[in-house]
Structure formats: structure tokens, C-alpha cells
């Protein structure tokens, strides 16, 4: 049995290899982009997030959303992505001008760096992704105003949701909206949190027309057949997608029109208000992954039968599950969750489907810290139970189709259980930077556990253990926690935390201290800060 030093060296070697490949690809793309223009970014052309209840769009996640001109949609549904604002930004990028909306990347690239070329930003990483990199020549060789068919589309059809997650908002959840309509916004220090009037003034609340016939959704369905063939990544978010008929409409379309290049995904709470919705979802996914005959869209030729073979209806299916902790603490943070039902539904999904994966999204707040260790233990247990999707690789030999023999389809193992741990930025009173020494020490304990269970050279066989980059993400979060806030900001955040939790417990009949006994000392500090304000 290898000792700790040997295991650590193996981990370091594996980590360096993965990170080197990741950075090398982005470095290569930086040189290609800058040879055309120092501000060119393929994501401005090839990626789009659509917020259809509000009629808003953006390219990647960094630029602010802007309104889709409704008067242009009737005759040209592609305006959902190719808006006048984006076209102007593409023009600027091709001319070497930095669009203001992309300031996030410019700040990263302009930061002091020992590398003479500067820091790599998401402009370089996004442009080097597998779905965007092949479009380089298309973007460069066309005029800035050509009608782009994006490769990466994320869409929110509806805000309908049965959860009231503690950091969420009425514009993203109908349950939140109903609560705010009943009680009003949360009275914080010098402002009202989740105030409906303020959200409407900012253009964040769903449009009145979105309650029935939404012209933005109508335009999407007119545009859908045009973009579908070239789609490489399609994500459905919410609200809760399992409550939305458009979700099943998309899945049915994929079933009827298989696309072997498509990575399809849904972000779900896995606790829909009616269990029948989950049952419907599982049956639909099982139907999608049924072995079938479908066309190779990369080399599609409608006049030839030589590009037909056997495979599921998609390249891969990923279920993203929002889960910020474990047990009752997870239920507190995501009001409406039944943790045991969520875990049961997850295991049903993993057990009854094969060509699928699942990724937990732990939106990391200070309340996520007390149950982080149990969350990580759950990840390991699921990875040990389900591992890769099959026990052995095997080849399916399809039957003959007339004179043409379909090539075999190989079923391979792959990683099925993933997780991410992005840091919550807003509201600031839930930030991990407020957690103090308790939080820092607890995350260090969790990091030790992860490093003791890191993947080794056998990971391709077992798919167990933690990946080096997962450990790096938690280390990144720890580094943020160790960055001290000013005393003024710390006291204000603690006071607002107290105000929010007291009102939260009153409205939802919950009990913070009973649920989070580990944070008793923090609660005393918040109470003191509140009295000081």
C-alpha cells in the first residue's frame, strides 16, 4: 500500500498534467485571437443565454443582460441572439476595440502579471472550448454582422418554481414572488431586499405578457429548427424546468430528431411539486437514450445512407442538481426541498439511465460550511455506488440495413458524478468571507479529507475519489475566505444577516439555531452587530 508521500506526489503530478493541458489550449487560442484582433472573443458570437420571461439576452455570463427588441422578432427570430447591441460589440471586437460590457475579462488581462502576455481571461478559455474552437474561421472570415447560429445556448423558459432558496429572488421563482407579495420585501439596513417595485424598475421581473403567450418563447420555437443542427451545448434552467411544458417539448424534439453532437442538460431541484413530473422526466430520458438509428450530423448528407449508425439521441446528457449542503441544513437553504426525496430521485436517475451524468451545484455560502464534510462524503458514496455508467466496455453490432452494415457503437465507462462549488456573490451577508475562523478551519478539515481521497492512476477504472481540480476549487474558496473584509463591511453584513434570518424564520416557520448549532457563536456576533446598528 502506497504511503502518504507517494500519494501526494502522484496527486501533484496528475494535477500539473491536467492544468498544463487546460492552460496550453487557452494560450494557443490567445495567440490566434490576438493575431486577428486583441479584443476578439468567440463567445460573443457562439454563446447565448436567453431569459425569455423577461425578454433579455447576453452572450457569456459576464456581460450584463440587455433587452431583445421585440419589434424585430416577428420577421427575424434570430434577433434573440443577434441583437443590435451584440452586433455593435462584434464590430468593436473585430476592430480591436474593447466593448464596455466585457470589462470582467479586460480587468483580468490588464492585471499585473509576470507573463509578458498577461493573464489568461475567460475570453481565451471560452474561445478554446471544444464547442467554440472549431468556429474560429467562420467568425474571422464573415462580416461582423452575419446572422450567427450559436453553438452554445442556455435558456430559461419560465420562472415557475416551487422553491424559495435563501439567496434567490422573485424574478427567478414564483414561490418567492408569492411570498414577497404577501409580506413585502425584507427590511435591511438602508434598503429593502427583494422589493418587487425595484426589481420591476430594473427590468428583472417577468413581463406581464409572459404569463400567457410569450412572444419571446414563440420566437425561440421559430428559431429552434434553424439552430438545432449546429448546436453543441444546450442547457435548460429555470425556475424549475421540470414544471415547464417547454422542457418536455425540447426533449421530444431531440427524440424525434437525434443530434449526435449535442450535449444536453437540465438544471433541476429534483423535488418537483408533483412526483409524477419526475417520473415523466425519467421516462423521457430513458426513451432518449434508447439505442436507435440516427444521422451523423457532422457528416450529414441527406442523399446518402452511408452516414447512419446506432447510438442514443444525443452525445451526452447532464443533469445539474442544485444542492448547497446536506440534510436539514440543505432544506433550510433551499426552502421547499425534501432532502431524502431528492437523494432518492437522484439514485433513481443514476440507476435507471446509462448514457447520462449528474453534477451537483453547491452555491457556496457561509451556511454551506457546517455540512460541507457530509456533502463531500455523499459525493464519494455516490461515486463508489455508481462509478462509471457500465461495468465493462462493450460493442453493439447493429443489424444490417439493406446493403449497408452499420458500424459498431462502443459503450464506454465515464465519470457520472460531478460537482462544482461556485462562491455566492450576492447577497453579501451570506458570503463565506463572513464566516470567520470557524469557517476557515472547517474548510481546511474538508480539504484534508479530499486530499486523503484523491483520485489515483486507477480513476479511469473506478471513477472514485476527488479530482485534483475539484480540490483546487475548494482551495480557491478558502483563499477568498481568508481575505479579510473591512470592519465596517463585516459589521454591516452581520447585522443584515441577523435581520434577514429573523424575518426568514418568522415567515417560513424555521429555526436557524436549531438547524445550524455550529453557527451559534456567529449568531451571537450577528446579534451584537444588529444592536450596534
User: Within this chain, do residues 238 and 89 fall inside the same structural domain, yes or no?
Assistant: no
Count of domains in the chain?
Answer: 2
User: Within this chain, do residues 76 and 170 fall inside the same structural domain, yes or no?
Assistant: no
Tell me the average pLDDT across 86-103. 96
Tell me the average pLDDT across 333-341. 97
In the predicted structure, residue 287 carries a pLDDT above the cut 70: yes
- Predicted TM-score (pTM) of the model is 0.86
User: Within this chain, do residues 342 and 220 fall inside the same structural domain, yes or no?
Assistant: yes
Distance separating alpha carbons of residues 398 and 406, to the nearest angstrom: 6
The domain of 468 spans 164-532
User: Within this chain, do residues 116 and 244 fall inside the same structural domain, yes or no?
Assistant: no
Distance separating alpha carbons of residues 219 and 21, to the nearest angstrom: 40
Question: 11 or 338: whose pLDDT is higher?
Answer: 338
pLDDT class of 321 with cuts at 50, 70, 90: very high
- Cα Rg of the chain, angstroms: 24
CA of 220: how far to CAs of 51, 52, 293, 295, in Å?
11, 9, 28, 24
Residue for grid cell 425595484: 198
Instruction: Give me the pLDDT at residue 212, please.
Output: 64
Distance separating alpha carbons of residues 508 and 122, to the nearest angstrom: 40
Q: Which DSSP string corresponds to 53-96?
A: TTTEEESSSSSPPEE--HHHHTT-GGGGTS-HHHHHHHHHHHTT
Instruction: Give me the pLDDT at residue 302, please.
Output: 46
Instruction: Give me the pLDDT at residue 403, please.
Output: 44
User: Within this chain, do residues 92 and 228 fall inside the same structural domain, yes or no?
Assistant: no
Lowest mean pLDDT among 88-97, 264-273, 472-481: 472-481
In the predicted structure, residue 399 carries a pLDDT above the cut 60: no
Question: 390 or 417: whose pLDDT is higher?
Answer: 417
The domain boundary residue, chosen from 110, 140, 156: 156
User: Within this chain, do residues 152 and 179 fall inside the same structural domain, yes or no?
Assistant: no
pLDDT class of 456 with cuts at 50, 70, 90: low
User: Within this chain, do residues 316 and 439 fall inside the same structural domain, yes or no?
Assistant: yes
Question: 304 or 395: whose pLDDT is higher?
Answer: 395
Lowest mean pLDDT among 230-234, 241-245, 468-472, 508-512: 468-472
Distance separating alpha carbons of residues 158 and 156, to the nearest angstrom: 6
The domain boundary residue, chosen from 134, 156, 178: 156
Q: What is the mean pLDDT of the chain?
A: 87
User: Within this chain, do residues 24 and 110 fall inside the same structural domain, yes or no?
Assistant: yes
User: Within this chain, do residues 86 and 194 fall inside the same structural domain, yes or no?
Assistant: no
Tell me the average pLDDT across 39-60. 95
Tell me the average pLDDT across 114-134. 86
User: Within this chain, do residues 110 and 220 fall inside the same structural domain, yes or no?
Assistant: no
pLDDT class of 119 with cuts at 50, 70, 90: confident
Q: Point out which residues pair with 401 in neighbouring strands.
A: 404
Using CA of residue 241, residue 243, residue 246, residue 248, what is the dihedral sign?
Answer: positive
pLDDT class of 216 with cuts at 50, 70, 90: very high
User: Within this chain, do residues 144 and 202 fall inside the same structural domain, yes or no?
Assistant: no
The domain boundary residue, chosen from 156, 187, 212: 156
User: Within this chain, do residues 177 and 123 fall inside the same structural domain, yes or no?
Assistant: no
Please write down the long-range contacts of 74-78, taking CB distance under 8 Å and 24 or more positions apart.
74/215, 74/219, 77/219, 77/220, 77/222, 77/223, 77/226, 78/147, 78/148, 78/149, 78/223, 78/226
Amino acid at each position: 500500500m502506497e504511503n502518504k508521500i507517494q500519494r501526494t506526489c502522484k496527486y501533484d503530478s496528475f494535477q500539473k498534467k491536467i492544468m498544463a493541458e487546460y492552460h496550453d489550449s487557452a494560450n494557443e487560442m490567445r495567440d490566434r485571437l490576438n493575431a486577428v484582433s486583441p479584443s476578439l472573443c468567440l463567445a460573443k458570437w457562439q454563446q447565448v443565454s436567453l431569459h425569455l420571461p423577461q425578454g433579455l439576452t447576453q452572450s457569456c455570463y459576464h456581460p450584463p443582460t440587455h433587452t431583445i427588441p421585440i419589434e424585430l422578432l416577428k420577421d427575424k427570430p434570430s434577433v434573440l441572439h443577434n441583437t443590435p447591441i451584440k452586433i455593435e460589440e462584434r464590430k468593436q471586437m473585430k476592430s480591436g476595440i474593447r466593448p464596455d460590457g466585457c470589462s470582467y475579462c479586460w480587468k483580468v488581462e490588464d492585471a499585473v502579471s509576470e507573463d509578458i502576455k498577461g493573464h489568461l481571461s475567460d475570453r481565451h478559455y471560452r474561445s478554446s472550448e471544444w464547442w467554440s474552437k472549431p468556429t474560429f474561421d467562420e467568425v474571422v472570415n464573415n462580416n461582423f454582422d452575419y446572422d450567427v447560429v450559436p453553438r452554445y445556448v442556455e435558456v430559461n423558459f419560465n420562472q415557475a418554481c416551487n422553491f424559495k432558496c435563501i439567496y434567490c429572488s422573485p424574478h427567478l421563482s414564483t414561490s418567492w414572488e408569492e411570498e414577497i407579495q404577501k409580506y413585502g420585501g425584507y427590511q435591511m439596513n438602508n434598503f429593502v431586499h427583494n422589493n418587487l417595485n425595484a426589481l420591476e424598475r430594473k427590468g428583472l421581473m417577468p413581463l406581464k405578457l409572459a404569463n400567457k403567450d410569450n412572444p419571446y418563447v414563440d420566437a425561440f420555437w421559430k428559431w429552434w429548427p434553424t439552430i438545432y443542427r449546429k448546436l453543441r451545448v444546450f442547457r435548460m434552467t429555470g425556475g424549475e424546468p421540470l414544471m415547464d411544458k417547454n422542457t418536455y417539448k425540447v426533449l421530444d424534439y431531440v427524440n424525434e430528431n437525434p443530434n449526435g453532437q449535442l450535449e444536453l442538460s437540465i438544471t433541476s431541484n429534483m423535488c418537483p411539486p408533483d412526483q409524477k413530473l419526475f417520473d415523466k422526466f425519467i421516462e423521457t430520458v430513458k426513451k432518449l437514450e434508447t439505442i436507435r438509428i440516427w444521422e451523423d450530423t457532422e457528416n450529414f448528407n441527406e442523399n446518402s445512407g452511408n452516414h447512419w449508425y446506432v447510438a442514443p439521441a444525443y452525445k451526452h446528457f447532464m443533469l445539474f442538481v442544485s444542492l448547497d449542503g446536506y440534510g436539514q441544513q440543505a432544506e433550510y437553504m433551499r426552502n421547499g426541498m425534501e432532502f431524502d426525496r431528492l437523494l432518492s430521485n437522484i439514485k433513481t436517475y443514476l440507476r435507471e439511465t446509462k448514457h447520462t451524468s449528474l453534477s451537483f451545484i453547491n452555491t457556496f455560502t457561509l451556511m454551506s460550511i457546517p455540512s460541507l464534510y457530509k456533502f463531500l462524503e455523499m459525493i464519494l458514496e455516490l461515486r463508489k455506488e455508481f462509478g462509471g455508467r457500465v461495468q465493462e466496455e462493450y460493442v453493439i453490432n447493429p443489424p444490417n440495413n439493406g446493403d449497408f452494415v452499420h458500424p459498431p457503437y462502443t459503450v464506454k465507462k465515464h465519470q457520472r458524478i460531478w460537482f462544482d462549488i461556485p462562491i455566492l456573490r450576492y447577497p453579501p451577508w451570506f458570503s463565506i468571507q463572513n464566516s470567520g475562523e470557524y469557517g476557515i478551519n472547517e474548510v481546511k478539515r474538508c480539504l484534508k479529507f479530499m486530499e486523503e481521497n484523491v483520485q489515483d492512476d486507477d480513476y479511469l477504472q473506478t471513477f472514485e475519489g476527488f479530482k485534483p481540480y475539484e480540490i483546487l476549487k475548494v482551495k480557491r474558496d478558502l483563499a477568498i475566505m481568508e481575505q479579510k473584509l473591512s470592519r465596517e463591511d463585516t459589521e454591516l453584513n452581520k447585522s443584515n444577516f441577523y435581520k434577514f434570518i429573523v424575518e426568514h424564520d418568522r415567515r417560513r416557520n424555521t429555526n436557524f439555531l436549531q438547524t445550524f448549532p455550529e453557527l451559534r457563536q456567529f449568531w451571537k456576533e450577528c446579534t451584537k452587530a444588529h444592536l450596534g446598528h
